Amino acid sequence: MTDIPDEPFAASSEAGPPLPGKNRTPDSLLLRLAGAPLAPLSTLSAVGLPAGTAWAGWFALLNALTWPIVLGSPLFLYAKALGAGDLMLGILAAIPPLLAILHIPGAHLMPRMGYRRVMIWGWGSRTVLIFIMALTTIIFTSSTARLAGIFLCIITFSALRGLSGGAWMPWVTGLIPPDVRGKFFLRDQLYGQSGNLLALLASTAFLLGNPDPRQFSLPFLFAGIGGTISVLCLMRVPDISAPEHHAQTGEVVSMIQMMSEKIFRCLCIFNILYMLVLGGLTVFTIAFLRGVVGFSQSAIVLLSGMSALGGVISLFWCGAVIDRIGSKPIMLLSLAAFAAVFAGWWAVAGKIVPPSPPMVGCLYLLMGIAGMNFAAANNRLQSLNIPRAGRNHYFAVFLAIVNVAAGASPLIWGLILEIIGRHHVATGSLQWNRYSIYFACGTLLTLPLLALCRGLDENHQAAV
């Protein structure tokens, strides 16, 4: 692999202007955003990244053949087909992020085992669970047994993911120089969302018509095969085995000390609130389309695939600017797009706009654009602001508390939706039902996130 820096992401101390500061005027920022060229196709390459990190992109692509199925729309549609209500769907959606609290005990494994061994152990074990999930759809015959089986598999799957997943961010931030991390996270998102799109297209083909619950074994088997190959790619990514690195990044830092640091505290609070507002959006749009609108399962999976398509397309533009203008402008634009997404779903649920496939597809497209660009920018901001000393524990604590919020979100909203039930009120042509209320609340609650995002510190860079 050629190790020549790419032009927009040159791996040198002179690559591009500094991150945006408080003195930059809104006009100059808008001009830079409007004039940003599309990223070249070479953005997909590993040029300018350390040797061996190309395999991280292939891992992201193949890993994305698993989670959109095992933790995404096919899982929720399967549970819905077995008779799960909004609250049960909320619990199912809450399990993976809540068990991310296991990142904290998992951080103690990293200095002894190394990042790569922890990830391979965790991802290999959870891949076995995917095949077991596929078997439960065939072996069990009653809906109750199938639901119990799927819940048990998701709990075990998520526990393994929680114990090992905390190794990824300290691993890649140790591998990737800070001035090309924007490119790395962009590339990671591009490969990942391409795999996401492939997974959803495959699931659409598997679930055509009105499938029997046993037919859901096909997407789960597909996910298991993708997960198996992804572990082989993970084995090719270089580990960071220097003892001094593990000694420094594995240093134990107390929670009080972490939260006393303003930059880290603000980053945590912002991400917690972001997850509380947006953590239930995916699952409840699926519940609305299936339970109220009556779209077929294959149609919902296909339309939700528009989010992956939107993410892939827009990330090319994001890649051209993220290392030059910084994370905050992209995060602000993404939050504004999320407010528009919530407003659009509110109009559909309130029967102001008909729930036509083109309308739903456009909403999913905008969801993907907002979600993927926000994730790339947010990951970059985290990698720059979390210090190297004690990085394992900083990342473990950060991911744990943010994922607890992500798990609480569908639980809270699911309970609220169950309490509202079928009650509805009409205000002229506008219908106020449980879903239109949920989407209206999401629209309003997204707006304060814009102000909080503006207060994040992007000028400070911790020791990297």
**DSSP secondary structure code for residue 327 in this structure:** S
Model pLDDT for residues 15-30, shown as the tens digit of each residue: 333 333 334 433 444 4
Q: Which residues contact 191 (CB under 8 A, 6 or more apart)?
A: 44, 57, 58, 60, 61, 64
pLDDT of residue 124: 92
pLDDT category of residue 436 using cuts at 50, 70 and 90: very high
| Alpha helices by DSSP H, 279-390 | 281-288, 297-325, 328-349, 357-385
Mean of the pLDDT values across residues 400-428?
86
pLDDT of residue 55: 86
Rounded mean pLDDT of the chain?
A: 80
Signed CA dihedral, 347, 351, 355, 359: sign only: negative
> How far apart are the C-alpha atoms of 104 and 400, rounded to whole Å?
7
Burial class (CB in 10 A: 0-12, 13-18, 19+), 35: exposed
pLDDT of residue 35: 41
Mean of the pLDDT values across residues 344-369?
93
Model pLDDT for residues 50-66, shown as the tens digit of each residue: 777 888 888 999 998 99
pLDDT of residue 320: 64
User: What is the DSSP code string of 112-156?
Assistant: HH-HHHHHHHHHHHHHHHHHHHHHHHHH--SHHHHHHHHHHHHHH
pLDDT category of residue 192 using cuts at 50, 70 and 90: confident
pLDDT category of residue 377 using cuts at 50, 70 and 90: confident
| Residue 73 host element (H or E) | helix 73-81
pLDDT category of residue 336 using cuts at 50, 70 and 90: very high
User: Is pLDDT larger for residue 389 or for residue 345?
Assistant: 345
pLDDT of residue 4: 30
pLDDT of residue 445: 94
pLDDT at 33 over 50: no
Question: What's the pTM?
Answer: 0.70
User: Is pLDDT larger for residue 416 or for residue 179?
Assistant: 416
pLDDT of residue 177: 83
At the top level of CATH, which class does the domain 50-454 belong to?
mainly alpha
Q: Which residue has the tokens 């190297």?
A: 388
Instruction: Kindly report the backbone phi and psi dihedral angles of residue 411, in degrees, each rounded to the nearest multiple of 5, phi listed first.
Output: -65, -50
**DSSP secondary structure code for residue 166 in this structure:** T
pLDDT at 1 over 80: no
pLDDT of residue 127: 93
Q: Are 331 and 378 in contact (CB under 8 A)?
A: yes
Helices (H) and strands (E) in the chain, counts: 21, 2
Q: Domain map of the chain by residue range? A: 50-454
pLDDT of residue 41: 46
> How far apart are the C-alpha atoms of 107 and 371, rounded to whole Å?
27
Model pLDDT for residues 63-102, shown as the tens digit of each residue: 989 988 998 888 988 998 888 888 888 888 889 888 888 8
pLDDT at 245 over 80: no
Model pLDDT for residues 114-170, shown as the tens digit of each residue: 888 889 999 999 999 999 999 999 999 898 999 999 999 999 999 998 888 878 878
Mean of the pLDDT values across residues 190-214?
84
